[in-house]
Amino acid sequence: MKLWNRNQRMNKALEIAVSIVYPRRCAICDEIVVPMGHLICDECRNRPAFVSGASCMKCGKPLRDSEQEYCADCMRTVHVFDRGYALFQYRSISGSLYRFKYMGRKEYADYYADEIVRKFGSMLRSLHPDALVPVPMYAAKERKRGYNQAEVLARAIGRRMEVPVETKVISRIRNTVPMKQLSETERRNNLKKAFNIARNDVKLLTIIVVDDIYTTGSTADEISREFRRAGVKHIYFLSLAIGQTS
C-alpha cells in the first residue's frame, strides 16, 4: 500500500513536471490552458454544443422536430447496431476534432472522456459492457499517423470507467477512401469487407464501439455486422461528435 502511494505521488510529480515542459493546450481553442490542471480554458466552457433536447432513438442525432422518434437517416436505413449515443454536435467542435485526429493533440482525449463520462457514464455502466472497441484504422495508415484517435479516446474512457479496451479483436483490412468524398451508396460499397474479426474466440456479449465522428452510421453498421456474426449480442455505438440529420 505504501509503495502504491509512493508511485501515485511520483506519477503526480511527473505529471506536473511534464505540464511545465509541455503546457497543456485547451481542447477547444488550442491556447495554453491557465490555470494549470484545467483541460480547457474558462472562456471555452460554453463553446462546444452538446447534443441536447430531442435526439434520434436509434443513432442519437439531434432532431429538429421533437415529435419525431428517428432521424431521416434512421428512417431510411435499418441499422445493425442496437443504439448509438453522441456527445457533441459536430460543427461546434470540428476544429478541435481535426487537431485531435491529424495534428497529434492526443491530450484532448482527457477533456473528451471527462465529458463523455459525465454525461453518459452511469447509462453506459448500466449496459454492463465487456469491452470498449475503438473503430480500427488501416495498419499502414495508423503507422503513418502514429496513433488511432478512436483508440486514444476509448482508452481515456476505459480508464475512467474501468472497462477494458479491445484493439486486437477486429481490424481494418482495406484502406478505404475518405468517407466525406462519397455519397451514401458509395460509402456503403466503400466499406464492404473493410473490417475483419481477427480472433476466432470472441467471448464478448456486450460491446460499445467507440469513434470520434458519426455521420450516417455506415462504419458502425459494417463493424456491427462482423461482431454479430461472431456472436456478440449487444452492440452500442458511442461517438464524440455527430452531424446534423440530412
Which residues bind to Zn ion, rule: CB under 5 A? 26, 28-29, 41, 44, 56, 58-59, 61, 71, 74
Sheet bearing 131-134, strands edge to edge: 83-89, 234-242, 206-214, 131-134
Least distance (Å) between residue 206 CB and Zn ion: 21
Residue closer to Zn ion by CB (options 151, 211) is 211
Residue closer to Zn ion by CB (options 70, 138) is 70
Q: Say if residues 208 and 127 touch (Cβ distance below 8 Å).
A: yes
Q: Say if residues 41 and 26 touch (Cβ distance below 8 Å).
A: yes
Least distance (Å) between residue 56 CB and Zn ion: 3
**How far from chain centre, in Å, is Cα 42?**
24
Residue closer to Zn ion by CB (options 71, 135) is 71
Residue closer to Zn ion by CB (options 142, 184) is 184
Least distance (Å) between residue 63 CB and Zn ion: 8
Instruction: Dump strand ranges (E) for 24-105.
Output: 83-89
Residue closer to Zn ion by CB (options 85, 195) is 85
Here the contacts of 28-33 (C-beta below 8 Å, separation 24 or greater) are 28/93, 28/96, 30/95, 30/96, 30/99, 30/105
For residues 28 and 13, what is the distance between their CA atoms, to the nearest angstrom? Answer: 26
- What does the block give as the cell for 94? 470540428
Q: Say if residues 115 and 108 touch (Cβ distance below 8 Å).
A: no
Q: Is 52 helix (H, G, I), strand (E, B) or coil?
A: coil
For residues 208 and 116, what is the distance between their CA atoms, to the nearest angstrom? Answer: 13
Q: Which residue has the cell 478541435?
A: 96
Least distance (Å) between residue 69 CB and Zn ion: 9
| CA neighbor of 218 nearest in space, from 243, 200, 198 | 243
Least distance (Å) between residue 23 CB and Zn ion: 13
Q: Say if residues 115 and 85 touch (Cβ distance below 8 Å).
A: no
Residue closer to Zn ion by CB (options 190, 215) is 215
Least distance (Å) between residue 189 CB and Zn ion: 21
Least distance (Å) between residue 71 CB and Zn ion: 3
Residue closer to Zn ion by CB (options 71, 191) is 71
